[in-house]
Structures are given as C-alpha cells and as structure tokens.
Amino acid sequence: MESMKRGHLAAEVACILILILLAQASAASVYERAIIPQGDSTYRVSLQFPEGTISGITETISSGMTCKEISLPPEQYRIEGTTLFLAIIEEREVSYLVTGKPGMTAEITGTYQDMITGEKGNLPGARISSSGSVEIIDAAVNNSLPGNDARSQHAPLEPVLFVVALCATGLLYSLRRRSR
Amino acid sequence: MKLLFMVLAAAVCLMIVLPASAGLPGDASGNDHLEKQELVSMILSALKDSTTLQDARDAAYVYSNWNGSPKKIIDSSGKERVIWRPFHRIVVMNSETLETMRSIGYDTSTVVGVDKYTLKATAFFPEFKNTPGIGSIWAPDYEKIVSLQPDAVFVYAEISRSSCDEIEENLAKTSPGVTVLRFDCYLPESYPGEIGILGDLLDCQEGGREFLEFYTSNIDTVTSRVAAVPENERIKVYFETWNDYKTCAAGSGYDQKIRMAGGSNIFGNEAGEYPELDPEAVLASSPEAVIKLVGSMKYTFGGYNGGEEEIFRQTHDALVSRKGWKSLPAVRDNRTYLIHTDILGGPHFFVGVQYMARWFYPDRFSDLDPVCVHAEYLTRFQGLPASIVEDEIFVYPRLRR
Amino acid sequence: MDQKGAPGDLSHLREEYHRFAAKRYLFLAGCGILILILIGIATTLGSADLTIGEVYAAIIARFFPSVVESTPLASTIVWEYRLHRIFFAIAAGFGLGIAGAVMQGVLRNPLASPFTLGISAAASFGASIVIVFGIGGFANDIAIIIAAFVFTLLATFGIYSLSRVRGISPESMILAGIILMYLFSAMTSFLQYIGTVDQLQEVVFWTFGSLQRTSWGKLALVSLVVGLCIPFIMLRSWDLNAMGQGDQVAKSMGVDVSRTRTRLMLIASLVTAIIICFTGVIGFIGLVAPHITRLAIGGDNRFLLPASGLVGGALLLTADSLARTVLAPAIIPVGIMTSFIGIPFFLYLFLRKREGYW
C-alpha cells in the first residue's frame, strides 16, 4: 500500500513536470527563427509567423554587425543602431540580411509583443560562432538545442513530450482507479 | 439630488484618468478607418513606449476583427451605437443581459461592475459574487460606476425607460467616453434579435448563432404545435403575479409568454400592464388554469436561491382554498400551478413557456421535457451544474417525469 | 356664533337655535339615508355580472334559506367579497372622518389631519419596514398590519411627548406632528431607496390605500374600536366647543384643556391607526370630510363630529364603489379615487360659501 502510494506520487510529479515542460515548449514555439549562411560573413535571418499574426518585433544584433534587405515595406520597420523594430501585419515570414566581420562571434536576440493575444516573450535566439557555424537558441526552455545545420534547428521535441505526457496521464489515471 | 450626483461624478472624473474619447485608436488621418500604415506606426511606437501599448493592441484588434472600421450596431432602444475599440471594462446593470452574455459564450471577465440583483443571485451568478455592485437601474451609484472606469455600460431599453434614459444622459454628460448600450433580453418579441446583436457587438457571432438555434428550436416546438389549436379552443388562463389579484395584461412579457404557450389570458385586455383585479372578477371569469408567479415579495422562495417544497405546498393550498375558488374549473380539475420567476421572467423564460405548454395541453406536449431543456441550458450555456434543476424547485406541483 | 341678536330677545334666539338644530338633525338623517342607499347600490356593483335580483336573493337566502334560492357563486361573491368590503368602507370612512374632525377641533387648525400630523407617515414607515426587510411568507401580511399600527402609536406618543416639553398647545402639537411627518417620510424614502423595485412598488401601493384586503374579522375589529371610541369623543364634544373659543375661554368654563386635548388626540390617533393599518394611507377623508360637514352645518362639534363620520363613510364607500367599477375588472386604489370625488365636491362647497366658515 505504502509503495503504491509512493509510486502514485512519483507519477504525479513526473506528469506535472512534463506538463510544465510541454507548456513552456509550446509557449516558446509561437514564432520560429531560421538563419542561413550566405557566405562572406553574411547570413539570412528569417522569422516565421502563424496566420493572422499582428505583432511587434524587436531584434537586437551584436555590435559590429549591420542589417539590410529587410523583406518588409520601408515604413514597416525601423533600424536604430543594432536594434531593429518590425511591425508584423499578417505576414507569414520576414527575413533580413546581417553582415559581420570574418571570424567574429555574434548573437541575435529578439522579443515579440503579440498585439492580438497580448502575449510577450523572447524569440528564439541565434548564435554565430567564429568558425561561421550557426545555432538557434530556444528562447523559453533556455537550453540550446545544438544543430549542425541551421535547417534542423527544431528537433521534433514537442510531439515526443506530448506522447510522454499522455502516457503519464494514462498511468496516473490507472493508478488512481486501482487505489480506489 | 441629480445635480449633486453630477457634481460628484464630475469630481471623480477629474481625479481619474479621463476615458479615451471617441475615435478609432491610431486613426491618425481621422477618416474613421484604420489603414495598415496607421496600425504599423502604432505598433512601432508601442515597441518603444509601452504606455501606448493598449492603444496599439486595440488598433490591432480593430484591424484584424473589424476590418479597420468602427463597429456600428443598433441596440434595442433603436439608437445606432458606434464602438471604436473593443471593450475591456464593462458595467452590466441588467442581469438579463449578463445572462445572455454568458449564453453566447462571451468572456465575462471584462465585467467590472454589476447591479445589486446580480449580486443577490449568488446561486445563478456565482462568478460575480465579489464584483463591485453599482446599485440598480432605479438607484444607480454614479460615483461607483464612474470610478470603475468602464468603456461600456449596459442598461435596459424598455424596462423603466425613464430611469435608463436618465442614466444614459448622466453618463453622457459626465463620462463621454462611455458607450451606453441598451438591451432588455427578456421580451419574447425582441429577444432573438438581441441575441444576434449582442453576438455581433461582443464578437461572439458563433456562440450567438449556437444559442439562438437552441432558443428558437425550443420556442418553435411550442409555438408550432400551439398554432394547431383554434383560437376559441384555447385554455382560459388566470395569471397572478406575486401580488395577490394582480394580473398581467397586453404589453407585459408574461402576457406574451402565456399566449406563446397557447393560453388565452383572461384579463389580457385590461388597461395597464399589471392591473389589480377585483377578486370577484376572478371568480366570475371561471379560469380553466391558474398560474401563480412566485419568487418575490411575500412569495420569496424557491428558484436558484433555494427553498423547501413545504412552503410551495402551503402557498398552493392557500391559493386553491381562497373563498369560492373550489368551484373554479381550474381548481376542480387540479390545474393550478406555481411557477418561479427565475424560469419565466428572465432570459430563459422559454423553460417556463414549455412548462406552461405542458400544463395547458398535456396531450399535445406529453413528450416535452422542460426539466431536460432547463438542464441543457444550464450546462451548455450557463456553465452551471445540471443538478440544480433536480435540487431546486421551479414549479409546483413538480412535473412527473 | 349663534349668540347674535339683541340681549333679552330670548324667544327669537331659541327659535333660531331650534331652526339650526333641526337643520343639523336633518343633515345627520340625510347622511344616514344616503349611506343606506349607497349600500344598496354598492352591493349590486362589481365585476361579476350578477343581476340586482341575484344579489338580493343571495343576501336574503343567508337569513331565510327556505324562502329564496341563491347560487353558490352569487352567495360567495356577495358575502365573501362585497359585503364586508362595503361595511368596512363605511366603518373606516366614519372613523377617519370623526378622527379628522377631532384633530381639527382640538388643534383649532383647518389643516390638521392624520395625514398632516405624521401619523400616516409613521404607518407607512412601519409597513415599509416589513415590506423591505420582511422574511416573506404568510406572516408578512400580519406583520405589516402590526408594524403600521405600532408605528402609528409611536408617532402619537412622539407628538405627545414632544409637545409636552413646550406645553400642550395646538401650535406645539402641530409642530411636533410636522417634525415627525418629515422624519418618517425621510425614513420611508430611505427604505424605498435601498429596497428592490418590487418592494418600492409595494410601498407606493400601500400608501395609495386599498380596501382589497378586508375581511369580516377585520371589519369586526375596526367597528369595535371605532364604536368604543365614539361615546368617549361625543361626551367631550361640549369641551371641544369651548376649546374652539380659545384655551382661556375653555379654562374659564371649567374645561381641563390639556387633559382633554391629550385624550382626544390619543383617541383620534388610535382610531386612525386601527383603520389605516388595514387599508394603507387614506389620508384625504380625515381632512376633507370635516370640512364638507362644517361648510354644510357649521362648527358645533356635537353635530360636526358624528356628521363628519357619516360624510366620511359615504365618501369612502362611494370612492371604493367607483374604484371597483370604473376600470372593472381592474381596481383603482381607493386613496386615489377618494381625492377624485372628494375634491370637486369640496371645491363646490368652498366656492359657494362666501363667508369664512372656519
């Protein structure tokens, strides 16, 4: 009886933890970022948005970098030094080019303010190493997911988490029933 | 008195931030239409200055939900109301409209003030137990209303027209940014329309459609079968309010509801909405069914706030043992009923109408189950448990299922 | 008033006095007959379409069941709904009329009445308390009656104690009454303010007055109280006449002015209380019935008092009969109807009589 109770508790804790993870992961995945090296220390940074997004984006790039070719009409963005302000009105994707100096390390971070839901938070960040390789840093989970290639920046973590959470819930449910 | 209120309200107004005046948020060109460029500059400035964030969000809402134009609706008072931005803080002074908001799936967390009747209905409106009260239509607490900084105030259109007119005028003078909206939400003739308009107004079109469908199907079940009963074969009904010998006549909601259920309201043509009768007139009219309304004044029991069956029984006994009543056809045939105003006076009067239809024409409506309809209304549209309909008493004698 | 003419010319004076007295007896008799006729008519009026024959058959059948046949419906309507209401109207009108006449005499003020002295306001407040805070249920009606009665007596006691501080004079009593009237009106308004709309309506309705809730039992109680008070009042009608000439005159004639004034006020208030606790405020009768009577037969209280009662009874019965029939089957509150029929009649007498009658 005692052991069963303990097992019960463990399952509950696990379940809650997983649910929290799941919630965080999904919160972080509202918008997505990709970064593709273009050569000559130039990279194309792109952000993807769900349908009907109306949002304000603030991107900050490391000093020493410049950005250009923003895929928005000129009135929809503003550049102030290394900070880029974007107004997203139902666009699905926005991209721009950043250029640094060869061999430098750089970081791109961003925040968003969703004007419809009122949500605000961090966008996935990007890091450029001195060797020129890039990685995407998940904003909310706050542990970088290593990607040898920028295209695989998002491991299919969520479905896995979801399945685990479902299993845990099922387990919890059956434990509850048995203990009654 | 009125002047004092206005001075007070004006003082409160000066102390608090004045509500935003009319006009679309971010409509720099002032053409009453929000262009994409205008929204863009709102968003870009909100990124740097968070104090303009709310305006930017409102602009985004207007742009994506209203195609950039102000919302125009005609409320039940017949006036066109222009809504310039979504509501964040609303005061609802008529519980019927509040109930309808719930029915159409509106998120009532924006409700910052309710009337005292809503506060008293703790069983039906549990979620507003701690919401500030603003008095009532008849004794409004203007200071409280203004201090809640609402962007919309809901009052009645037809009920107590003069009180509501006064509220509208006073708010227009002291708080020009407040939109006053007028709905009744209890009159059979106007309710279906009001459901649709409220759905449009509060951007709950889908929920509004769903509820309207439920509502009309329940009403149609009754009216379509009643239509088959010839006018001269309709049952003669004496309806009595919670004031003894006070009945209802043409123009009142109860009269419409009796006719809807196929009853012929004996005193329906008398002057005034609620005429008081000479008791002997009731005796002489030989009603075939008697409906007595309970739920207020000395008949305050039953309904959502609960009550024992015993007091229903006593009330019913007292009714049928009135002097000379034992010779009335209604009493002879055991067709005297008590009905609670909760299911006849407010927005879900269709439940009461179904009960009456079953009482009036038991053969035609033997399959009708008002208890079940009531339960469905509570669970599907009000977020209340179905057990209420079994635990509490709404009619007497209770319907055998 | 009557002592005009040359001193010594006593036979002429006596003759004139008898002529006046005869006129007054005639008026009293006329009022009595009028009331009988009104009863006869009122029993046949009502929303149930009973013929005159059916009505009288129902009345006679109660006493001589073997002689006349009556239907149960007619019998119920006449006996359980009409008759006690009619007699209650007479008893209540009589009581209010005589109480009003007493108050006007005692206070030597044409505006004194239960209505202006705060007694009705106190009754309204008592009723309002129960209407607004009442627990509901069947005890509510009885609670309203008791509360109205108790508060009426409280107001009377208040007037008495307040005026005693300054000496029992008409001025102090009227002032005390007016103070109480404002106090109770304010408290009633406050209750209306915090009450629900239904309660507010009920309070307003109560202040209109209605004979809707009468019964044989209530009639018996009211008749008993009014009946017991009449001899007491009549015994003091001479004192009242003396007081009408001023307190000094009365004192010189051996009248204990403050005691008589206090007792008569208490009696008049009791009569008013026992009536309006059942009917609600019917204020106009107490004010206007004495005036109508005074315009017709002058200010001798020995005649004025009973005649005011009869006029009050006739007025209230007429008003209630009209209230039942004008919008039948709907009923107009009798307080409204009383004013509608009393005012034109009063105005007629008022404009016709040129000299000051008061």
Please say whether the beta carbons of C311 and C289 come within 8 A.
yes
Q: List the single residue in A52, A90, A115 with the smallest CB-CB distance to B43.
A: A115
Within an 8 Å CB–CB cutoff, is residue B61 touching chain A? Answer: yes
Least Cα distance to B114 among A87, B198, B96 occurs for: B96
Please say whether the beta carbons of C125 and C341 come within 8 A.
no
pLDDT at C137: 63
**Cβ-based contacts of C82 with chain B (< 8 Å):** 280
Q: What is the DSSP string of A1-16?
A: -HHHHHHHHHHHHHHH
Quick check: bond before C329 cis, omega within 30?
Answer: yes
Evaluate if residue C103 carries a pLDDT over 80.
yes
- What span, in angstroms and rounded, lies between the C-alpha atoms of C84 and A46? 94
How large is the average pLDDT for residues A115-126?
Answer: 90
Q: Quick one: tokens of B203?
A: 């951007």
**CB spacing of C330 vs B301 below 8 angstroms:** no
Q: What is the pLDDT of residues C302-316, one digit of tens each?
A: 999 999 999 999 999
Question: Which residues are CB-contacts of C145 (< 8 A; sequence separation ≥ 6)?
Answer: C277, C278
Question: What's the pLDDT band for C7 if we cut at 50, 70, 90?
Answer: low
Question: What's the pLDDT band for A40 if we cut at 50, 70, 90?
Answer: confident
Give counts: helices (H), strands (E), chain A: 2, 11
pLDDT at B19: 42
* Amino acid present at B11: A
Chunked in runs of 10, what are the mean pLDDT values of chain B (401 residues)? Answer: 58 46 83 93 90 92 94 95 95 96 96 94 95 90 92 92 92 91 93 96 96 96 95 96 93 93 95 90 94 91 92 95 93 97 95 97 95 97 95 92 63
Q: Quick one: tokens of A91?
A: 């666009």
Q: What is the CA radius of gyration of chain A?
A: 21
**How many beta carbons lie within 10 A of that of residue B47, not counting itself?**
22
pLDDT at A105: 87
Dihedral in degrees, nearest 10, Cα atoms B123, B127, B132, B138: -50
Question: What's the pLDDT band for A161 if we cut at 50, 70, 90?
Answer: low
- What span, in angstroms and rounded, lies between the C-alpha atoms of A86 and A53? 13
- What span, in angstroms and rounded, lies between the C-alpha atoms of C150 and C127? 10
For domain C81-352, give its CATH number from 3.40.50.2300, 3.40.50.880, 1.10.3470.10, 3.60.15.10.
1.10.3470.10
Q: What is the DSSP string of A43-78?
A: EEEEEE--TT-EEEEEEEE-TT-EEE--SS-GGGEE
Q: List the single residue in B47, B53, B64 with the smallest CB-CB distance to A54.
A: B64
Please say whether the beta carbons of B318 and B365 come within 8 A.
no
Evaluate if residue C5 carries a pLDDT over 50.
no
Interface of B with A in 14-43 (CB under 8 A): 36-37, 39-41, 43
- What span, in angstroms and rounded, lies between the C-alpha atoms of B107 and B54? 19
**CB spacing of B298 vs C138 below 8 angstroms:** yes
Within an 8 Å CB–CB cutoff, is residue B48 touching chain A? Answer: yes
pLDDT at B353: 97
Mutation target vs B (from C71, C86, C196; most B CBs, 10 A cutoff)? C196
* Amino acid present at A84: L
Within an 8 Å CB–CB cutoff, is residue B110 touching chain A? Answer: no
How many beta-carbon contacts under 8 Å exist across B and C? 101
**Cβ-based contacts of C193 with chain B (< 8 Å):** 139
Q: Quick one: tokens of A98?
A: 């950043």
Q: What is the pLDDT of residues C22-79, one digit of tens each?
A: 888 999 999 999 999 999 999 999 888 889 999 999 999 989 888 888 888 888 889 9
Question: Which residues are CB-contacts of C155 (< 8 A; sequence separation ≥ 6)?
Answer: C117, C118, C119, C121, C122, C123, C180, C184, C269
- What span, in angstroms and rounded, lies between the C-alpha atoms of B149 and B166? 19
Average pLDDT taken over every residue of chain A: 75
State what percent of residues in chain C have pLDDT above 90. 43
Q: A134 by DSSP, 3-state: which?
A: strand
pLDDT at A1: 45
The model's pTM is: 0.80
**CB spacing of C212 vs B245 below 8 angstroms:** yes
pLDDT at B4: 60
Of B335-339, C236-240, C324-328, the range with the highest mean pLDDT is: B335-339
Least Cα distance to B393 among B334, B324, B337, B322 occurs for: B337
**Cβ-based contacts of B139 with chain C (< 8 Å):** 193-194
The C-alpha angle with vertex C114 and arms to C108 and C120, in degrees rounded to 5, equals 155
Q: Quick check: do C and A touch, 3+ CB pairs under 8 A?
A: no
Least Cα distance to C223 among C261, C271, C258 occurs for: C271
Question: What's the pLDDT band for A164 if we cut at 50, 70, 90?
Answer: low
**CB spacing of A78 vs B40 below 8 angstroms:** no
Please tell me the distance in Å from B40's CA to the nearest CA on chain A: 6
Q: Quick one: tokens of A132?
A: 């020129």
For tokens 């609960």, what's the residue? B306
Least Cα distance to C105 among C275, C257, C271, C314 occurs for: C257
Please tell me the distance in Å from B68's CA to the nearest CA on chain A: 13
Q: List the single residue in A57, A89, A118 with the smallest CB-CB distance to B40.
A: A89
Residue spans per domain, chain A:
2-25+160-179, 30-140
**CB spacing of C197 vs B138 below 8 angstroms:** yes
Evaluate if residue A9 carries a pLDDT over 70.
no
Question: What's the pLDDT band for C187 if we cut at 50, 70, 90?
Answer: very high
Dihedral in degrees, nearest 10, Cα atoms B260, B264, B268, B274: -70
pLDDT at C18: 85
Taking the alpha carbons at both ends of chain C, their separation in whole angstroms is 11
HEC assignment per residue over chain B = CHHHHHHHHHHHHHHCCCCCCCCCCCCCCCCCCCCHHHHHHHHHHHHHCHHHHHHHHHHHHHHHHCCCCCEEEECCCCCEEEECCCCCCEEECCHHHHHHHHHCCCCHHHEEEECHHHHHCCCCCHHHCCCCECECCCCECHHHHHHCCCCEEEECCCCCHHHHHHHHHHHHHHCCCCEEEECCCCCCCCHHHHHHHHHHHCCCHHHHHHHHHHHHHHHHHHHHHHCCCCHHHCEEEEEECCCCCECCCCCCHHHHHHHHCCEEECCCCCCCCCCEECHHHHHHHCCCEEEEEECCHHHCCCHHHCCCHHHHHHHHHHHHCCCCHHHCHHHHCCCEEEEEHHHCCCCCHHHHHHHHHHHHCCCCCCCCCHHHHHHHHHHHHCCCCCHHHHHCCCEECCCCC
Instruction: Give partners of C (≥3 CB pairs < 8 A).
Output: B
**Cβ-based contacts of A87 with chain B (< 8 Å):** 39-41, 43-44
How many beta-carbon contacts under 8 Å exist across A and B? 51
**CB spacing of C138 vs B271 below 8 angstroms:** no
**Cβ-based contacts of C199 with chain B (< 8 Å):** 297
- What span, in angstroms and rounded, lies between the C-alpha atoms of C339 and C288? 9
> Is residue C178 exposed (0-12), middle (13-18) or buried (19+ Cβ within 10 Å)?
middle
**Cβ-based contacts of A53 with chain B (< 8 Å):** none
Within an 8 Å CB–CB cutoff, is residue B61 touching chain C? Answer: no
Please say whether the beta carbons of A4 and A179 come within 8 A.
yes
- What span, in angstroms and rounded, lies between the C-alpha atoms of B222 and B357? 7
Q: Quick check: do B and A touch, 3+ CB pairs under 8 A?
A: yes
Q: List the single residue in B137, B278, B327 with the smallest CB-CB distance to C329.
A: B278
What b/e readout covers C52-78, taking b as 16+ CB neighbours within 10 angstroms? Answer: eebbbbbbebeeeeeeeebeebbbbbb
A interface residues, B as partner, C-beta within 8 Å: 52, 54-58, 75-78, 85, 87-90, 113, 115-116, 118
Q: What is the pLDDT of residues C154-186, one digit of tens each?
A: 998 998 888 888 887 888 888 889 999 999 999
Q: Quick one: tokens of C319?
A: 């008003």
Q: What is the pLDDT of residues A63-113, one digit of tens each?
A: 888 888 999 999 999 999 889 999 999 999 999 999 888 888 889 999 999
- The chain C residue lying nearest B241, using CA atoms, is C198
pLDDT at A155: 44
pLDDT at C16: 83
**CB spacing of A115 vs B60 below 8 angstroms:** yes
Estimate the crossing angle of helix C10-42 against helix C301-325, to 10 degrees.
20
Please tell me the distance in Å from C76's CA to the nearest CA on chain B: 6
Q: List the single residue in B36, B47, B61 with the smallest CB-CB distance to A56.
A: B47
Q: Quick one: tokens of C299?
A: 């200010």
Please say whether the beta carbons of C156 and C128 come within 8 A.
no
**CB spacing of C72 vs B324 below 8 angstroms:** yes
**Cβ-based contacts of B43 with chain A (< 8 Å):** 54-56, 87-89, 115
**Cβ-based contacts of B298 with chain C (< 8 Å):** 134, 136-138, 140-141
**Cβ-based contacts of B323 with chain C (< 8 Å):** 76, 80-81
Question: What's the pLDDT band for A8 if we cut at 50, 70, 90?
Answer: low
**CB spacing of B61 vs A116 below 8 angstroms:** yes
Beta bridge partners of C130: none
Evaluate if residue A2 carries a pLDDT over 70.
no
For domain A30-140, give its CATH number from 3.40.50.300, 3.30.9.10, 2.60.450.10, 2.60.40.740.
2.60.40.740
Question: What's the pLDDT band for A24 if we cut at 50, 70, 90?
Answer: very low
Q: List the single residue in B279, B318, B323 with the smallest CB-CB distance to C138.
A: B318
C interface residues, B as partner, C-beta within 8 Å: 46-49, 72-73, 76-77, 80-82, 131, 134, 136-138, 140-141, 193-194, 196-200, 202, 205, 212, 324, 327-331, 333
**How many beta carbons lie within 10 A of that of residue A6, not counting itself?**
10
**CB spacing of B298 vs C198 below 8 angstroms:** no
**CB spacing of A52 vs B64 below 8 angstroms:** yes
- What span, in angstroms and rounded, lies between the C-alpha atoms of C151 and C121? 9
- The chain A residue lying nearest B53, using CA atoms, is A115
Please say whether the beta carbons of B220 and B96 come within 8 A.
no
**CB spacing of B63 vs A118 below 8 angstroms:** no
Least confident of A103-107, A139-143, B164-168, C9-13: A139-143
> Is residue B198 exposed (0-12), middle (13-18) or buried (19+ Cβ within 10 Å)?
buried
Number of residues written out for chain B: 401
**CB spacing of B48 vs A116 below 8 angstroms:** no
User: What phi and psi values does residue A124 have, to the nearest 5 degrees?
Assistant: -60, 135
Q: A89 by DSSP, 3-state: which?
A: strand
Top pLDDT among A145 and C29 is at C29
pLDDT at C193: 82
The C-alpha angle with vertex B340 and arms to B337 and B345, in degrees rounded to 5, equals 120
Average pLDDT taken over every residue of chain C: 88
**CB spacing of B40 vs A55 below 8 angstroms:** no
Q: Quick one: tokens of B206?
A: 């889908």
Q: List the single residue in B40, B59, B60 with the smallest CB-CB distance to A75.
A: B40
Q: Quick one: tokens of B131?
A: 């919401």
Q: Quick one: tokens of C54?
A: 């059916």
Mutation target vs B (from C71, C197, C202, C205; most B CBs, 10 A cutoff)? C197
